[in-house]
Structure 1
Amino acid sequence: MAEITANGQNNGPAAGQPTLVLQKIYVKDVSFEAPNAPQIFQEIGEITEAPQVQLNLTQRATGLGNDLYEVVLSLTLTCTINERTAYLAEVHQAGLFGIAGFTEADHAGIIGSYCPNLLFPYARQIISGLVQEGGFPPFLLQPINFEALYAEQQRRVAGGEPHTLNS
C-alpha cells in the first residue's frame, strides 16, 4: 500500500507491499460509420426483422517499463437492419496502470479482469453517445463480467487453445 503523508504527498509504496495505481484513462481511438445513411433511416420505419447487434470485445496490455502498463479495451458494435449495416461504432479505451509487487497470477488477473472492468464504463458511454449522435435510437451495452471472461480465457489457455479475450 502506498504511504500518503499529511500534506497529501505520495511517498511511494511501503516496503514489500503490492501497489496498483491508475495513472490515466484516455481514448486511444474512436470511430463511427453509418455506411448506408441516409437510406437506412427510411428503412428503420419499414423494418421487417429485429435489428441484429454484434459486439466484438478485445483487450491488450503493453508493458512500458518501470512497472507501468497500458491496457487497451476495444469494443466494436455492429448493427445490421434487413441484412444491411446500419452503423459500426468502435472505441479503443485505454488506461495507464502502475502494477508492482503482485504474484504472477495476481498480476495477470489484474491485467485480464480488473483493468478492463475499470475501463468498460468509459467505453460504454462513448459507444452510447456515438450511436445516438449518429441518428439512431439509444443503445446501452449491458454490463460485462470480465472476471468470468478472464477465467474462461485461462481455462482455454490451460487446454492449449489460443488466448484472446473475446465476447
Structure 2
Amino acid sequence: MAKQTRNFFVSYHHDYDQQYVEELRQIKRGMKVADYSLKNDISHYSEEQIYKVIRDKMRSCSVTIVLIGERTGHRKWIDWELWASLRGYKNSKNPKRSFRPKGLLAVYLPVANHSVPDRLQANIDSGYAVSMRWKNVQRDLESKINYAIWKRDNANHEIVNNLERLDRNAFNFLGFKI
C-alpha cells in the first residue's frame, strides 16, 4: 500500500523567516507531503478576505506547521492562522465546506531567542502540538507530520483555543510583548 500524501500549511513571520520556508519547500521534495500555504503576499486584502483565503487553503490540510523564530509570537496573522487551524466546524448544507481541526507541528528555528505564540504554547503544554528543532527537519519532517496527524486523530489531548485572538501585532520591548 502506497503512503498517503500529507498536506500542510506553514505559518511564519514573512519578513524574518522567509528563507526557512524556501528551504523547507526544497527539503520536502521527495517526501509524501504537500505545501498548501500562501505563496503570494495578500497583505493588501481586507482582514475578512485574508481570513477567507487562509481558511480555504487550510481546508485541504491535515497539519499546520509553525516556524518559530524571534518574532513569531508577536504576529497577529500567525495567531489567527493557529486559531483557524484549531477551530473545527460542520457545515450541514455543504459537508465539503466543513472544517476539521488540524494537527500542529512547531519547528524551532536556529535563532538566539524564540517567540512562541501563546496559543501554540498552550497546545504544546496540553500535549496536542508536536515540536521539533530545525536541524532535524530534513531527517524527521515527514514522521513529525504523521505524528501530529496521529495525535489529532487518536490522542486524548485537549485542544486549547479559548484565548482571545490578537487584534494587532505586538512589539518586543526588553523581552516583553507589548
Which interval holds the TM-score relative to the shorter structure? under 0.3
Q: Which has the higher helix share?
A: 2
